Structure 1
Amino acid sequence: MTFRILTVCSGNICRSPMAEQLLRARLGGVDDIEVSSAGTIAMVGDGMPAEARELSARLGAADADAHRARQLDERMVREADLVLGLAREHRRAVVELVPAATRKTFTLREFAHLAAEVTEADLAASVDPFADAPPGGLGVAVTATASLRGVVAPFESPDDADVVDPYRRSAAVYEQSAQQIGPAVDVTVALLARLAARR
């Protein structure tokens, strides 16, 4: 079964495509994962600004030039197994669109913050013995991570859950945005790869 990750920001030209592309690149060795992105107020059809394209490519993405922005809709959310907003406003917009998506929707940095604390016991407790997917299916990562909400100590500041929006800002802000996305992607990939290795 294909595991689908959806990243979401506002215009779908900077933060969410960068997260999408880095996830795809770093999950390259994991089969049956699809990563896509969308925007809550997407600049439909637009590509990434040069600064975002160059940063994404520098960090390992191979498909930044091909990106075209698209508008978030209910179908995308319903079909996703994990939705990663790039800021709290995007997480909120996703849940307002599809309230049932609450347990699978996080900000990227929130997911990484929780995923870093997932133990083997958390994973074992999250396996549904009646599910169609085999034990160790990637959905277990989402269930285990969601179970740590309210258990793991929160961020020192709520703003730490967000990735800064670099659009029309300085090169330094683009760098800051990338520095927030990259480590969060790495933690997310580590958890998914840990489960994928057991399949």
Structure 2
Amino acid sequence: MESQQPFRILTVCTGNICRSPVAERLLQAGLDQVQAGAFEVRSAGTRAMVGDPIQPLSADIVHNFGGRSEAFAARQLNSRILRETDLVLAMTQKHRGEVLQLDASLLKRTFTIREFARMLAVLESREVASDADAAPSASIGDFWRSLATRAASVRHLALPGDPSENDVIDPYRRGEDAYRQMEDELAPAILGILRYARITAPATR
């Protein structure tokens, strides 16, 4: 039977005011265009500045890409949040490790956002090369619940030249140049994930 529950994505950084809110809001905006209600994207921080809004320069990035930054409040990552999550996209390898310290059962469903985007690119290239029909026969939610396992299976084909290429810089208190670098590292990953969502979405009936 087709699952009616949205596919739940959690983005994770440290303070939950710079990087993970940008990923949350832009992924949600883009995935809503794929199929409204099929995805639920939230964020949390490993040492969250609980209750704080998105940092102004991060909010500017969200707005520039067509997202909304209003009604956001940082929240602390905990086991309860993780239990309600289908896929965790961490901003750095360290954050990924901290997620797994809280819930080791998420090992095959937790990635850095940049490595996950590379894995999806590998999956896409394989599907094109084999002339496979990438569109899911099940619901989008069920398709994405099986995606983490398929992505993990090609991890060895998506390794970066430098491990630091898995991470997104923390721009907090570092000025506009750091925020631009964050955008340069984060935006391609978000766009890659959204691209894969679009090409694998069922045709509109």
**Normalised by the size of structure 2, how large is the TM-score?**
0.85
- Deviation per CA, 1:74-132: give whole Å up to 9, x if none: 121122111000011110011111001010000000101111100336x99xx9xxxxx
1:166 aligns with 2:135: no
Other-structure match for 2:74: 69
Shift >4 Å, 4+ stretches: 133-136
Other-structure match for 1:53: 59
The letter of the residue matching 2:77 is: L
1:182 aligns with 2:182: no
1:114 aligns with 2:119: yes
| Structural mapping, 1:146-157, within 5 Å | 146-150=152-156, 152-157=157-162
Judged with a 3 Å threshold, the aligned counterparts in structure 2 of structure 1 residues 153 and 55 are, in CA distance, closer, same or farther, namely: closer
| Structural mapping, 1:1-199, within 5 Å | 1-29=5-33, 30-31=35-36, 32-62=38-68, 64-118=69-123, 119-120=126-127, 137-150=143-156, 152-197=157-202
8 Å CA contact 1:39–1:69 kept in 2: the answer is yes
State the secondary structure of the residue aligned to 1:6: strand
- CA shift, 1:134, in A, is 5.3
8 Å CA contact 2:115–2:158 kept in 1: the answer is no
8 Å CA contact 2:122–2:158 kept in 1: the answer is no
CA root-mean-square deviation = 2.3
* Unmatched runs of 5 consecutive residues or more in structure 2: none
The letter of the residue matching 2:190 is: V
Distance in 2 between residues matched to 1:78 and 1:50, nearest whole Å:
30
The letter of the residue matching 2:147 is: A
The letter of the residue matching 1:42 is: A
Length, aligned pairs only: 191
Distance in 2 between residues matched to 1:50 and 1:2, nearest whole Å:
29
**Normalised by the size of structure 1, how large is the TM-score?**
0.88
- CA shift, 1:153, in A, is 4.5
* Unmatched runs of 5 consecutive residues or more in structure 1: 128-132
Judged with a 3 Å threshold, the aligned counterparts in structure 2 of structure 1 residues 153 and 24 are, in CA distance, closer, same or farther, namely: closer
- CA shift, 1:198, in A, is 5.4
- Deviation per CA, 1:13-39: give whole Å up to 9, x if none: 000000001101111222310000000
Q: Which range moves more in the overlay, 110-119 or 189-198?
A: 189-198
8 Å CA contact 1:114–1:145 kept in 2: the answer is yes
Q: Which range moves more in the overlay, 185-194 or 77-86?
A: 185-194
State the secondary structure of the residue aligned to 1:117: helix
Percent identity for Structure 1 against Structure 2? 40
